Structure 1
């Protein structure tokens, strides 16, 4: 019997053992804060959404940034980690706000136009951890997660990362930020402010437009995986039929070229690994293929605003289900949304819901909790449209736009 990749240690199903006491810290921590740091080390893989093959290795980078020195920027990373850990452990408490306030004060006072590494690296890490904390809270200030993300991206852009030959470990943080920027571009494409929430979505809250929503940032860097770079272009370039460009030969040629580039992506093993068929490599290749499939489905549907049946898309969907079965647990939301959108029978819908339920047992990502409601709304619309096909883009606009705050699909 095939147990699937979920029976082994791998990308999305890694488990940490009990937290080990850290033998040395460059700063003094009380007992409770020490416990919170240990808890962060244990729970970060299920709390942080990252496009990485090895979450253990990425977590080690964050811990090194916490323990690197006793500078204000290093303390900011620590305080953000403690805030996330405290929320994950006990929910929203006054101490969470206290930790967040400390982080923001430290980031503001230690930031200057000539900020350099390692301070820059620590600022980006602290902002991204705060971003994830705000995603978990989804409070009345729900757009704050996007503001922290934009601020992290702004720091990277100002550092001129694209003009540098090597940023070492910083490149991994850049890729982390870029992954969330790509997924937020998808959200913003279909999200509309001041839209009344639908009854099925309970996690919405009104929010005033923030300055960060209109702040201009650069596109993704070359540090990001090629599928993410192509997804970003896809979310940027898709036009609606009402746009005059939609009917131009130039637009059609660009779409064909983009589809060809995504199709030509070959999921490959990690560089520098001795065993190309290890569990880690196999899981990484499966994950990148899932994003490739989701990207192709979205591109074909959205670029032609087509919701009808397609044998080619049906084949890709079935391949995606096989990959999900092999992975056992997969908790990144975008591929689950796009593949789940295609579910037309009760059997297919139960199949994708089972994958979501399985992911929720091992992950606290807030996006997974809203995904089920989003898919059910899409399916209801499909079932009500018995004699005609609904507009693909309008369906996404209606469902995602029903949120009063920006949803994340990272």
Structure 2
């Protein structure tokens, strides 16, 4: 409908509407702040832009085209909880580095992952087998392209195993260990340390670091895959303590300190040593940076800051969980200290504000600290809502809830004679028949 009034009104009205063509909410919010003379700092580095869709080449069948379409549209179901958009774009670029090479293991791994979600493990096994046969021999790993394809395809098969609904859940460790072995022994690894590969390197480090938690509490001592996770991204040193981290949903300093704490959970298991005697200078520096990022009053009580988006809340959730775990595994606190309870309270409040959470490790660490009915009911509500999220990976939430409740049971059954935190964690996690993933 066109408004017809005095001469010139129609053109003016159409001009007003035309201003909003191709405008996003980011453009409008920035415009309002600039017009009002406000500080535009909150808009820095926040612009999102569409990434090109990858069209399947002519050699891909109709079935495989459907799998590619599903992968692009449902990446959060397969690659979460990391920032799946940036990661999926990187993966597709590697998959189509040679558009007519259908033996590319990355492309076959994408098919395997999508086929598992659409058709089940039986049909996806065909693509999984093709990946395994396409991965080049170790003699070729010095070639950068081959190395990148091998690592990416193994990481995708790792995600494939994480998604399996069967008793073979623990098979994910086989593929993650293959990735660790390749990246730690290949002479070509250093060639990958470039800006354009940052999301890929961060992706590996995130899963390496959180797998360390499983390793330390499910199988101690652990043999066969003992490479210590290290950050390889060229951004790692510059972004420690940074408020922004879009690639993996977790800052590098949190992952580094978590790896350190996991190591100390084993080293210091038999004696409650003073934290100052066993902490390295780097670990203390990392902890101070994380504490500064959390703030004196917690992340959700900073009313002066702009409203936090979900990515920012996920970053803070990892920070809180890391500090809680360091207190427990390294400092050996009893859990009743005011500073510790404040971290727990902030973590539970943050989870209730998020409503759902697919990040297994921080969810588990914070859930284990719930001591009263109100806290536990709040967390059970988060678990329930998370399980109902069909567009995101949630199959792992059920067993995370189960083992968190098993930890609660141990606390409730020994109220007069509390058992050590690490002893309970080792016993409960070790009680599972498979190596549980916490990523």
TM-score, normalised to structure 1, is 0.78
Matches within 5 A, 1:69-148: 69-70=98-99, 75-93=104-122, 95-108=123-136, 112-137=139-164, 139=166, 141-148=168-175
Q: 1:328 to 1:107 in 2, by over 3 A?
A: same
Is 1:221 equivalent to 2:231 in the alignment?
yes
Is 1:349 equivalent to 2:380 in the alignment?
no
Structure 1 residue 251 displacement after superposition: 6.0
**384-393 or 231-240, larger mean C-alpha shift:** 231-240
1:366 is paired with a residue whose SS is: coil
2:409 is paired with a residue whose SS is: helix
1:56-88 residue CA offsets vs partner (Å, 9 max, x unmatched): 222111122222214758721121111111111
1:112 is paired with a residue whose SS is: helix
Structure 1 residue 98 displacement after superposition: 1.0
1:137 is paired with a residue whose SS is: coil
1:127-167 residue CA offsets vs partner (Å, 9 max, x unmatched): 11100111122645444311211222222223467856942
Aligned to 1:46: 77
1:126 is paired with a residue whose SS is: helix
Structure 1 residue 107 displacement after superposition: 0.7
Given the alignment, which residue of 51, 56, 61 partners 1:25?
56
* Structure 2 CA distance for aligned equivalents of residues 379 and 267 of structure 1: 29
**62-71 or 229-238, larger mean C-alpha shift:** 62-71
Q: Is the 8 A contact 1:36 1:86 kept in 2?
A: yes
* Structure 1 CA distance for aligned equivalents of residues 70 and 365 of structure 2: 33
* Structure 2 CA distance for aligned equivalents of residues 191 and 298 of structure 1: 16
Given the alignment, which residue of 398, 402, 405 partners 2:431?
402
Given the alignment, which residue of 162, 172, 190 partners 2:217?
190
Structure 1 residue 324 displacement after superposition: 2.4
Aligned to 1:330: 357
1:265-322 residue CA offsets vs partner (Å, 9 max, x unmatched): 3549xxxxxxxx888x743332222111111111111224444422212211221233
Is 1:317 equivalent to 2:344 in the alignment?
yes
Q: Is the 8 A contact 1:262 1:296 kept in 2?
A: yes
Is 1:263 equivalent to 2:288 in the alignment?
yes
Matches within 5 A, 1:359-370: 359-362=386-389, 363-370=392-399
1:179-208 residue CA offsets vs partner (Å, 9 max, x unmatched): 111111100111039xxxxxxxxxxxxxxx
* Structure 2 CA distance for aligned equivalents of residues 64 and 155 of structure 1: 21
Is 1:252 equivalent to 2:277 in the alignment?
yes
Structure 1 residue 34 displacement after superposition: 1.1
* Structure 2 CA distance for aligned equivalents of residues 228 and 366 of structure 1: 23
Q: Is the 8 A contact 2:320 2:347 kept in 1?
A: yes
Structure 1 residue 113 displacement after superposition: 4.0
Structure 1 residue 366 displacement after superposition: 3.3
* Structure 1 CA distance for aligned equivalents of residues 411 and 280 of structure 2: 27
Given the alignment, which residue of 313, 321, 331 partners 1:294?
321
* Structure 1 CA distance for aligned equivalents of residues 281 and 104 of structure 2: 49
Q: 1:397 to 1:27 in 2, by over 3 A?
A: farther
Q: Is the 8 A contact 2:144 2:188 kept in 1?
A: no
Q: Is the 8 A contact 2:59 2:100 kept in 1?
A: no
Aligned to 1:390: 419
Aligned to 1:178: 205
Q: 1:242 to 1:396 in 2, by over 3 A?
A: closer
* Structure 1 CA distance for aligned equivalents of residues 54 and 265 of structure 2: 52
> Which structure exhibits the higher relative contact order, with contacts defined as CA atoms closer than 8 Å and separated by 6 or more residues?
1
Q: How many residues align?
A: 359
1:69 is paired with a residue whose SS is: coil
Q: Is the 8 A contact 2:275 2:331 kept in 1?
A: no
Structure 1 residue 260 displacement after superposition: 5.3
* Structure 2 CA distance for aligned equivalents of residues 311 and 237 of structure 1: 23
From the CA coordinates, give the structure whose radius of gyration is larger: 2
Structure 1 residue 27 displacement after superposition: 5.2
* Structure 1 CA distance for aligned equivalents of residues 128 and 351 of structure 2: 36
1:214 is paired with a residue whose SS is: coil
Q: Is the 8 A contact 2:268 2:330 kept in 1?
A: no
> What's the RMSD between the two structures over aligned residues?
3.2
TM-score, normalised to structure 2, is 0.73
Is 1:284 equivalent to 2:294 in the alignment?
no
Q: 1:161 to 1:176 in 2, by over 3 A?
A: farther
* Structure 1 CA distance for aligned equivalents of residues 119 and 416 of structure 2: 50
Structure 2: which 5+ residue stretches go unaligned?
1-50, 237-251, 295-304
Q: 1:231 to 1:72 in 2, by over 3 A?
A: farther
